């Protein structure tokens, strides 16, 4: 069985933990719990005639007060870059994290996930930016950990990219 480490990157409170819980356990909770350090989850999936053990590293969020320990990314085969579609500052932080991740671990596959698409009245993700990133061949998916929309697709797309 293949084993692939996936890291969750993004600011605080963008929904990284909720996305992992929705994907691994099919659950969602409105209660917010800050991730301290790293929380590791696993899920075995069937992809391209192979069983793949996904080891999901849910890293604490980065902001102006807390910086990520980049050594957590070592050995990652890919990552989900997560932003909150209702908070433009988290999109900017995600773009900065992508550049830093690329300099730390090279050009590994990633998917840019803009979470909380269920909050349509609060949605502020810039369509022009989305088109600009798509023109750079970024995979961009809108997700909702709350409703489950796009969650399976985000992890499946990343797994497919990692397997080539």
Residue 25: give the domain boundaries.
2-163
pLDDT band at residue 47 under the 50/70/90 scheme = confident
Q: What is the DSSP letter of 15?
A: S
Segments of 33-87 assigned E as strands: 38-47, 50-59, 78-84
- How far apart are the C-alpha atoms of 46 and 88, rounded to whole Å? 35
> Which phi and psi (to 5°) does residue 80 adopt?
-100, 125
Higher pLDDT, 112 or 71: 112
Total domain count for the chain? 1
Measured CA to CA, the distance from residue 52 to residue 21 in angstroms comes to 18
CATH of the domain at 63: 3.40.50.300
pLDDT (tens digit, 9 = 90+) per residue, 25-46?
A: 999 888 767 666 689 999 999 9
Q: What is the pTM of this model?
A: 0.92
């Amino acid at each position: 069985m293949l084993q692939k480490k996936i890291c969750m990157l993004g600011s605080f409170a963008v929904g990284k933990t909720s996305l992992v819980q929705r994907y691994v356990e099919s659950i969602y909770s409105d209660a917010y719990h800050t991730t301290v350090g790293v929380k590791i989850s696993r899920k075995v999936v069937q992809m391209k005639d192979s069983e793949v053990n996904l080891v999901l590293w849910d890293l604490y969020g980065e902001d102006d007060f807390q910086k990520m320990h980049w050594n957590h990314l070592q050995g990652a085969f890919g990552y989900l870059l997560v932003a909150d579609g209702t908070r433009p500052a988290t999109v900017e932080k995600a773009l900065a994290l992508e550049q830093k991740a690329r300099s730390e671990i090279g050009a590994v596959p990633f998917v840019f996930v803009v979470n909380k698409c269920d909050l349509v009245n609060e949605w502020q993700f810039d369509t022009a930016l989305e088109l600009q990133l798509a023109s750079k061949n970024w995979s961009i998916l809108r997700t909702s950990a709350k409703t489950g929309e796009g969650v399976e697709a985000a992890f499946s797309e990343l797994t497919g990219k990692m397997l080539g």
